[in-house]
C-alpha cells in the first residue's frame, strides 16, 4: 500500500466532516475499510510506530469531528421537534380573579419563528 494513501484518506474524511458532505463520507468509509485491511496485512506494518501514531491521531481527530456532527444533527432535530410543538397556553386573571386565556384558543394553530 502507498505510504500516504490512508493518511490522505483520513484528511479527506476530515474535510468531508467539516463540510457535512455525507455523500463523500459514504464513499470514504468503503475505501477506509479497504486501506485498513491492506495495512493490517502488510508485513511489519506495526513496526512503523511513527506512521501508526500519525494515523491514530488523524483517526481520533476525525472521531471527535464525527461526534460533533452527530451532536449538531441531534441539536437540530431537537430544535425542529420543539418548533413543531404548539406553544404553551398563556393565561392571566381578569378583574374578578377569573383565569382568562390570552391569544390562541383551544384547537387553533400556533406559529413560532
DSSP tag of 87: P
- Give pLDDT tens digits for 66-94: 999 999 999 999 999 999 988 888 888 88
Whole-angstrom distance, CA of residue 68 vs CA of residue 65: 5
DSSP H or E stretch at residue 91: strand 90-93
Cell of 67: 461526534
Identify whether the C-beta of residue 55 lies closer than 8 Å to the C-beta of residue 10. yes
Q: What's the pLDDT at 104?
A: 56
- Give pLDDT tens digits for 34-67: 999 988 888 877 778 898 899 999 999 999 999 9
Q: For the chain, which residues make up each domain, given as ranges?
A: 5-84
Q: What is the pTM of this model?
A: 0.69
| Helix segments in 4-106, DSSP class H | 5-19, 22-41, 49-84
Amino acid at each position: 500500500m502507498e505510504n500516504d494513501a490512508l493518511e490522505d484518506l483520513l484528511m479527506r474524511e476530515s474535510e468531508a466532516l467539516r463540510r457535512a458532505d455525507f455523500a463523500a463520507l459514504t464513499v470514504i468509509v468503503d475505501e477506509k475499510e479497504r486501506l485498513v485491511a491492506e495495512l493490517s496485512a502488510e508485513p511489519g506494518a506495526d513496526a512503523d510506530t511513527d506512521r501508526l501514531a500519525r494515523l491514530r491521531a488523524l483517526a481520533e481527530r476525525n472521531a471527535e469531528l464525527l461526534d460533533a456532527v452527530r451532536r449538531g444533527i441531534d441539536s437540530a432535530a431537537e430544535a425542529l421537534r420543539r418548533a413543531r410543538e404548539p406553544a404553551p397556553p398563556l393565561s392571566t386573571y381578569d378583574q374578578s380573579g377569573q383565569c382568562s386565556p390570552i391569544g390562541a384558543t383551544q384547537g387553533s394553530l400556533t406559529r413560532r419563528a
